[in-house]
Amino acid sequence: MVGKRTSSLTRTTKETDIRVELCLEGAGGGAIATGLGFADHMLTLMTFWAGFDLKLTCKGDLEVDAHHSLEDIGLSLGQALAEALGDKAGIARVASAKVPMDEALAEVVVDLSGRPYLVYADDLLPALIAGEEKDVWREFFKSLAQRAGMNLHIRYEYGKNGHHLLEAAFKALGLALRQAVQVTRTGVTSTKGSVD
């Protein structure tokens, strides 16, 4: 029987001040305040569909733009996920999910392998979403994958509305993580006996 897998951390730089509390055996609740309403919405969706409990605050240099905040949130959340998973013994590790949002469809595939890699084709996203350039979301996902030690593949299959496309991706990420962190066996889920 696995105990509560949790993590708590702070990250402070000249650009951001971030606090994260993560519990993988949660109820899908959160208290998220990034200073960016759209980011709060996306992270709340991911948390709910993952079944995690997440408390996250970020005070960032939003007078510059959202880039530093979203990049550092990705780093902090990825680190919290890696720490909460511990040695990863028994986890399913690999999972995928497809989610529609009105006219949009996104697919997310994850492998909590310890080997970070991001595949992210954002050609369908409009240049601006909620007032920020679409590139900030690539930086978020890249940072998340890097610190979590996760293979993360996100494919926007079709859609026109940027909000809908990202919402589908965040819900799918939550669902995939929910499956991937489940303890379904004993030992490390790897034929070489080591995750990474």
Number of domain units in the chain: 1
- Per the domain annotation, does 154 fall within a domain? yes
**What per-residue confidence (pLDDT) applies to 186?**
83
- Please tell me what DSSP assigns to residue 172: H
Closest CA to 36 of 75, 8, 64, 77: 64
Q: HSE, CB side, 13 Å, CA atoms: give it for residue 171.
A: 14
- Here the tokens at position 36 are 């960016």
Distance CA 14, CA 32 (A): 21
- Per the domain annotation, does 194 fall within a domain? no
- Per the domain annotation, does 192 fall within a domain? no
- Per the domain annotation, does 37 fall within a domain? yes
- Here the tokens at position 111 are 């492998």
**What per-residue confidence (pLDDT) applies to 155?**
97
- Asked if 172 and 76 touch (Cβ cutoff 8 Å), the reply is no
**What per-residue confidence (pLDDT) applies to 193?**
62
**What per-residue confidence (pLDDT) applies to 185?**
85
* Regions of the chain with pLDDT less than 70: 1-3, 188-196
**Range of 23's domain?**
6-180
- Per the domain annotation, does 127 fall within a domain? yes
**What per-residue confidence (pLDDT) applies to 134?**
97
For 25, other C-beta atoms within 10 Å of its C-beta total 14
- Per the domain annotation, does 186 fall within a domain? no
Q: Residue 101 sits in a domain of what CATH number?
A: 3.30.230.40
- Per the domain annotation, does 193 fall within a domain? no
- Here the tokens at position 129 are 């979403």
**What per-residue confidence (pLDDT) applies to 4?**
81
- Per the domain annotation, does 29 fall within a domain? yes
- Asked if 188 and 88 touch (Cβ cutoff 8 Å), the reply is yes
Beta-sheet pairing, 53-60 with 94-101: unpaired
Which amino acid appears at position 110 of this protein?
V
Closest CA to 54 of 40, 65, 66, 68: 40
Q: HSE, CB side, 13 Å, CA atoms: give it for residue 92.
A: 13
